[in-house]
Structure formats: C-alpha cells, structure tokens
Amino acid sequence: MSQESTQEITLEINDMLGSLSYPESKPSIFKVDDHLRTAGRDNDYDPEALAIGPYHHGKSGLQNMDQLKIWYLKQLLSRRNETVERYVIAVAAMEERARRCYAEPVDLDGHKFIKMMVLDGCFLIELLRYHSMKDLRTADDPIFKNERILSQLHHDIMLLENQLPFFVLNQLFNMTKIEDSRDDIIGLVLCFIDGMFLNVAVSKVYQKLPTQNIDHLCSLIHEICCLPFCWDNLTQECWK
C-alpha cells in the first residue's frame, strides 16, 4: 500500500473518530428483540388498545384512544382552570433528554414529539388518579364503565415498548398535584397494578428507590420486585 493511500485511510478514520459523539445518558426504553417475537406471540409485546410513547404512536387499531387522551387532558385543564401552554413549555424543555431515553430512532419532529409527550403523559397520570380517586371521574367515563378496556390498559401500560421516561411523568404529575393524601405517584401506580404490591408501604419504596432512579413505569415495577424488604419480612415490615 502506498503512503498516500495510508494517509488517506488514516485521515478518514480520524474524521470518523472526531465525529463520534457519546450519548450523555444511556437509553432505557428498548424494543423487544425480533427473536423473541416468535410466531403468534406478538400480542405479548404489542399494545392492545393504548399507544404510549413513539414506538407504537399512530398505529392503526390504537387510534381510538387518542380522543380519550384529549378528553382526559381537557378535564385536567378544566379542573385546574389552566391552558395547556404551561405543560407544552415544560415538556419542550425536556425534549432532548427524553429522546435520548429511546434506544431506537424516533421518527417524529419536535412539534409532534412534544405533543405526543403532553397527551400521553397527562393521560397516564389522570388514569392513575381516576383509578384510585373515584370522585374525580365523570359518570360517563368509558374506561371505568368497561372492564375489558381497563384490563387492556393494565396490559398495555406495563409493556417495555410502551413507555414514557419517568422524569416526564413525574414532572407533569408534580405540576398537576392536588391536595389529597392519595395523590402520590408511586402509591397510585402500586394501586393501579393491584395484586401483590397493593399494600406495599409506599414510604419504604421511596427510602430504597428515589424517583430519580426510576426509568419508566415498567422499570418501577421491576425495581420494586427487586427490593429485598418486599420478600424478607412480608408480614411485619413490608406490609401494613
């Protein structure tokens, strides 16, 4: 190989090295590997009714919930006598950080991405509130009038591909917090998923799992499962 070719290759590699950028944070929201999507098992990983986040955004069969997202946001704004601008500004400030949470490229421009985050985030936190605080619901809420829809949402919200960064949810939650002892995001999540975590002492979860260490709702459930006090002293220390 000539010296000229060697220098040319060296320059090209140096350019590649110079243009390489390291992410400020590691992604935490992934897509399920193709080899896990064996024939007939897609339902295990794909949402049935609700798209949250960019991976399933806009897919046919999931758009019926979009009107409910708008309805829930309208109820939230009406209850607080606010406009949506405050939340758009807050989410826009978190856009770049939120994008970095997704391991796969997000094919949405800034306008659509922020709009999706506001609608999806406000829908989730209101859904959690309505589940625990029946007095906040309207009598004609279609989700809580239909056990099948609620069951589908339980499934969809816990899917790895169907997540929002927890810091986005937590910010929106804190911005809309109400004066009610039940209005605690960890407690509302535990109540929503029911089952073995229904009576876990929320204060103990906060001691061992600060909110800044939570990636998303699916991660929260996994982390709680890994907390040793949930299994070591179930009757005396973990359960009220």
Measured CA to CA, the distance from residue 160 to residue 28 in angstroms comes to 10
- Give residue 7's pLDDT band: very low, low, confident or very high (50, 70, 90): confident
**End-to-end C-alpha distance for the chain, whole angstroms:** 75
Q: Where are the domains of the chain?
A: 46-238
- Give residue 40's pLDDT band: very low, low, confident or very high (50, 70, 90): low
Q: What is the pLDDT of residues 182-206, one digit of tens each?
A: 898 988 988 887 654 555 555 566 6
Task: Output phi, psi for 83, to 5 deg.
Answer: -105, 170
Are the C-beta atoms of residues 125 and 172 closer than 8 Å to each other?
Answer: yes
Measured CA to CA, the distance from residue 236 to residue 240 in angstroms comes to 8
